[in-house]
Amino acid sequence: MKRLMVVMALALTACATEEGSGGGATLTIENDSSYTLISIQLSPTTSVTWGPDLLGSQVLEPGDSLELSSIDCDVYDIRVVDDTDAECILDSVDLCLDDSVWTIDDAELALCAF
């Protein structure tokens, strides 16, 4: 649970530092952790289902990054799953931003009860 809160705080910080006009944004997710991420999904907070896996058939290995483009301005829940199928859910993340970077590292992940 602590891991979730720190990851959420990190995501909110990344999003809060970049305000956009909303037409579409680019978010780069950098995996600076020692965990392999196997799934990242977004869902508008008004939806009851998760969107498609943004990684597709790929994984986000430590040291890798993923660039997401044309993100519609909205408030999303974000689901991140590692290679042990442990998940963190980030609630109500405002993705109304212009080009921004979200870095996930062990310091943040070590605090979450994956």
User: How does pLDDT run across 22-58, given as a tens digit for each residue?
Assistant: 456 788 889 998 889 999 999 999 999 999 999 999 9
Nearest to 29 by CA among 73, 61, 74, 51: 61
3-state secondary structure of 4: helix
Q: Give the span between the Cα atoms of 62 and 12, in whole angstroms.
A: 22
User: Domain locations in the chain?
Assistant: 2-109
Residue/partner pairs of 47-56 with CB below 8 Å, 24 or more apart = 50/79
Q: Which pLDDT tens digit goes with each residue over 55-109?
A: 999 999 999 999 988 778 888 888 888 888 888 887 887 877 777 787 877 776 6
Which CATH number describes the domain made up of 2-109? 2.60.40.2890
Once rounded to an integer, what is the mean pLDDT over residues 6-32? Answer: 57
Flag whether pLDDT at 9 surpasses 60: no
| The model's pTM | 0.70
